[in-house]
Structure 1
Amino acid sequence: MISQTKIAIPILQEKEEDIIKTAQDFIKKGADLLELRIDGIANVNSDMVKKIIDSINFPVIATNRSKKEGGFFLGSEKERINILKSCCDLKNVEYIDIELQTDPCLRNFLIDKCREANIKTIISFHDFEKTPSVDYLLKIVNEQKELGDVAKIAVMPTNLEDTINVLAIMSHCDNTIAISMGEIGSYTRVMASKFNAPFTFATGGDVTAPGQIDIETMKLLLNMDLMDHDDFLDDI
């Protein structure tokens, strides 16, 4: 059975020409979506982002990650959100990633702009130090889904049990991407398809997050009949 979960590959490059070349390579390798990490672009501005996305001419997730969420954007929060807002005018932008912990006024402003433009939103939450409890993560996901279209959590495990907690979230929540980072959590990226996650993340070369799997391996694993999610984690 062919997996319905799409594969997104992040692009984290500083220069416009490198981004476009990398995008072409990832498209050839079979990416379904490209996540443009705007925060990685040197001296970035809205016009530059528009030019890059138009040149790529492929479905894009626009992400401009703040430093407190593990990103590299150096400008103000208003500047960061305004660059994302400018992506609402671009035909190839399918999703805009908005961090849950963004200032509520700026966050809600951007969500409204996305809705007006019929662009889907990913409301994301990251914890690079630990994996919160299942109850806490469920609370986060419920809040995310009240705000946007897709909930995304990415958390750091300290043991295997933490990764099971992440699977529990996917088991109970639709339209949710739940990632356990690091090597011991890498398998959760593959299990995303077994819980009908809209997409998962792989790498086409450069690793932008701990535990990422290369796209060639991911495509093979997503289409293996590993197990049926209806028979898995029933008691979690």
Structure 2
Amino acid sequence: MNTTKIVVTFTGHNDDEINAEIRAAKENINDFDIVEIRGDVFDALNREDHAKNVRSIIDVFKPLNKEIIYTYRTAKEGGSGSKTTVEYEALLNAICTLMDIDYIDIEVNSGDKIIASVTKTAAEHNVKRLLSHHDFKQTPDTDGILSVFKKMDDIGGELYKAAFFPQSSEDVDHVTSAVEQAKVLYGHKVIGISMGELGKETRTALGEKSSALTYGFIMRDAAPGQIHVSELRQKLTH
């Protein structure tokens, strides 16, 4: 039996886009397990409106037994987030404190101080940590990817996500091989993604090469190579 959970990523910038995504997600309610709220798309909003948007999504999907991930993806890791490190730390701590979320995404390259601070707040509010690393330029070899997972395990968290951009099919193989080996070492908490068209197979991998989570979209893709959640569900259950 496949144990990969499907995450639907919400990237709407305003009320109309968010409401359209919510409607589409409710129409495909059985095709995903987790909702990821991308807070970096709200960068132009003030704190109150940012919080309102996050809460509006949580209020719809929590009663429908969907888990919630809050992610603020910084520009250097492929997102649209432009907050300073101090602002990033404060935002993640505030989200853990004020919002009914299950997972907080913490970029492992954000620095030891931020990771320690958010880890403490998350623990106090029963929020699990999803440690993440994104490289949109290249893919290390298998040992290089394993060293990223090792760094995450040294920090400690509930999920470890590493995404890389491939230049060749060999790069894709490095990711699947690293996932397979990391699962032996750390259990079913590893997420390995090879982005873009070339790496799509990593998003629907089964068996020993499968990740703990796979990310899909409901209206527009949030990352290169993302697949619609209904197609993900079909591929993961057949």
State the alpha-carbon separation in 1 of the partners of residues 152 and 180 from structure 2: 16
Out of 105, 129, 149, the residue aligned to residue 113 of structure 2 is: 105
Pair 1:143–1:14, CA change in 2 (3 A): same
Match of 2:64 in 1: none
The answer to whether residue 193 in structure 2 is matched with residue 179 in structure 1 is yes
Corresponding residue of 2:69: 61
1:169 matched to which residue of 2? 178
* Structure 2 gaps, min length 5: 62-66
Distance in 2, matches of 1:94 and 1:138, equals 26
Corresponding residue to 2:162 among 153, 166, 180: 153
Deviations 1:119-144 (A, max 9, x none): 11111111111110111111110111
TM-score, scaled relative to structure 1: 0.87
- In structure 2, what is the Cα distance between the partners aligned to 1:101 and 1:49? 24
After superposition, the C-alpha distances for 1:50-109 in whole angstroms (9 at most, x for unaligned) are 322332222321011111111112232211221121111345311111111002211221
Q: What's 2:8 paired with?
A: 9
The corresponding residue for 1:227 is none
* Counterpart residue number, 1:19: 18
The percentage of counterpart residues that share the same residue type is 29
| Unaligned 5+ runs, structure 1 | 225-236
Instruction: Using the TM superposition, give the Cα deviation of residue 110 of structure 1 relative to its aligned residue in structure 2, in angstroms.
Output: 0.7
Residue type matched to 1:182 in 2? G
CA contact 2:24–2:219 (8 Å) conserved in 1: no
Separation of aligned partners in 1, 2:130 and 2:15: 25
2-structure distance, mates of 1:193, 1:203: 23
Please point out which of 132, 136, 148 is paired with 2:140.
Answer: 132
Sort the Cα spacing of 1:51 and 1:93 in 2 relative to 1 into closer, same or farther, 3 A: same
Distance across 2 between alignment mates of 1:203 and 1:17: 17
Shift in Å, 1:17: 4.2
Conserved 8 A contact 1:192-1:199:
no
> Could you say what secondary structure the match of 2:192 adopts?
strand
TM-superposed CA distance for 1:114, in Å, is: 0.9
Distance 1:127 1:113 in 2: 27
- C-alpha separation in 1, matches of 2:225 and 2:107: 21
Number of residue pairs matched by the alignment: 223
**TM-score with structure 2 length normalisation?**
0.86
